[in-house]
Chains A and B, each alone.
Chain A
């Protein structure tokens, strides 16, 4: 009883400041939009966005699902291939020197520039959009996992050596679990980037008049001058990114709950 009221109190304390900011910002935007201080084709008042969300929720949900699929596939590919790539890179300094500079490609490539190529390679659909999400989100997974794998406690490496552990045991029982906090950091960043990569990919696909993802909707809404639809789609896309970020966060808490005294309570 006591602790549950305490928890409620903590939740309230955590939530009221951002909610207050949200209400104030919405009120200002509403006023700016309604009063005509900002022209209607530049800014949709929150009430209009809300109205659109409610009236077209079925369409938006279809778009959300399309985008979420591509983002999740791209993110999963980033997680799996990124971690595998980091393991390969961590295995020897020579491999690291030879290949690591090229992984930076994923960090620096202007996705908008190569997206048309992706569409040519993979067709104007889910595949090219998911690949776009992958390209944008894989680098932080590689970089953070590699950092984690390379910063294993040397004393523990000695210990494993002392008991003649195989390199498989060293990886599986020491280096990977020890890198878990770093891996999760990489995945958290990747989750948000995967949504961005998806939406950008959908812009390009949308220009070809195909698909029904949120990015496609944003492009068409802009063309039609439907500013309320544009804001609604952007809002839904942001919520998708937030949801993925939060999911990774929760998974991380669960996985690391024993590591730090602070996570115990």
Chain B
């Protein structure tokens, strides 16, 4: 678990790192701690997975990935974990999760995000998933995104 200083570090960096030569010094200065301590605490949060990574999040449309499909699949419960691991291991799948169904309108329990330059590319990639799932796929859909409404990341 984190203490008050870690929490203050999260609040100070959730909008992003300052674009100055010594960003960790700048943050440490704001918090009134030593720069070494700020770096040590960030490194510890990376080690424990509280920070997934430090880096840039691109707007995928702006870097050429103009087609984004959330592919969703209805996989029998007894097969879902093996199927999910296999789908998640495909090089082109960027996120893969098991989520609950919302019956009767939403039968899908496996969600795999697929990006492409065109919708046909996304559909082709979805076919690779369909082939991999074989008879384990009872029904499927692709929800293409048509607009980013918000993308700010978390705020605590």
Q: Are A and B co-members of a single complex?
A: no
B interface vs A, CB < 8 Å? none
A interface vs B, CB < 8 Å? none
